[in-house]
Structure 1
């Protein structure tokens, strides 16, 4: 299922880049998110859902409620290649800098919604509480700080450099840790995430990804 959805997004982007039939449209963020920009960028909602909540089972992240500066930085990184993703590179490269900024602001202002299936349909067995330990205490024997030290209590996010991890897709979180570890993603501040990811094993990565996926986002106290 994850592969099929990924291919669907790739096909949508490729079709537009090869001269799709999108009509001329106003270049505003809401239109681009829903319909694309008519110049090669596919609708964001194809992969990230109309409410910006993402598609957990496919590993497509939530964008709604994220920090605007962080979102713009990621779009810029896709366009420049410091984040290696063939679909998003095509998408970001087809957007102007102004469009990337407008989309970042647009999604940041969308209300964040809880993603009930972020952890996947099959419960992750972690009897030793490995994920919670890494998230809240780290592993100092390998110079790995607690994730919460940068990403905030429960992974709610801190500023433009440390995005929310709470309620994000476990598939997505694990994929990003592996990308940092392999070096295919290298837009982390001071190489911090590359060091951390390279110090974790596959079991560590799966455990901490599922722990954060199970945390509430937005935090209960910020919900209406």
Structure 2
């Protein structure tokens, strides 16, 4: 599929049930924090393609994304993933940085007494992401991060490597999940970062 076709998918949809991606994820791929729609720009192509395939297969449940992913062909899913991976990650909207507390502690040091490793051990320093399995958390909407943690806790999201997130998320309470989500949402991406 050509780049122009990927651009058409993002801006116009495919005419077979998939609406324009930008209607939720923004023209720049930056997402919509208020609605909890994640940033896609600059994410790893293989990660994005796997998420779309998992939505299509039902491995990752979401009432909005499942039918959209199912209406995209495998080639269209790959094209969209490649398109967004090439976009620069826009700066997240300014948010008041959370005070140092449990969110920062869990993100940077973990809680080993409860077998909770630091989020940064997999997602990289500052949560900037590591390859195709550990997406960036920095600058993602807090509502999105929190919703994903809750999905792993409830077992409605199961597509993490070795069930790491299912294990970790179930050891956190609601206040801890919210604190980690808010801390990462306030973290800036490094200058020139593609989010990977």
Fold agreement, TM-score > 0.5: yes
Matched, 1:61 2:38: yes
Instruction: Output the CA distance in 1 between the equivalents of 2:152 and 2:91.
Output: 26
Aligned counterpart in structure 2 of residue 162 of structure 1, from 122, 134, 149: 134
What 5-or-longer segments of structure 2 have no aligned partner?
none
Instruction: Output the CA distance in 2 between the equivalents of 1:142 and 1:77.
Output: 30
Q: Match of 2:157, SS? A: coil
How has the CA–CA distance of structure 1 residues 102 and 182 changed in structure 2, closer, same or farther, with 3 Å as cutoff?
Answer: same
Moved over 2 A (4+): 123-126, 220-223
What 5-or-longer segments of structure 1 have no aligned partner?
1-25
8 Å contact kept, 2:98–2:182? no
Aligned counterpart in structure 2 of residue 97 of structure 1, from 64, 74, 79: 74
Q: Give the paired residue count.
A: 192
TM-score by length of 2: 0.94
User: Cα deviation per residue 1:73-119 (whole Å; 9 max; x = unaligned)?
Assistant: 000010011111011001000000000001000000011101115x5
Higher relative contact order (CA 8 A, sep 6+): 2
Instruction: Output the CA distance in 2 between the equivalents of 1:93 and 1:107.
Output: 19
Instruction: Output the CA distance in 2 between the equivalents of 1:82 and 1:183.
Output: 10
Q: Match of 1:160, SS? A: coil
TM-score by length of 1: 0.82
Q: Match of 1:91, SS? A: helix
User: Cα deviation per residue 1:167-196 (whole Å; 9 max; x = unaligned)?
Assistant: 000000000000000000000000100011
How far is 1:220 from its partner?
2.5
Instruction: Output the CA distance in 1 between the equivalents of 2:14 and 2:4.
Output: 6
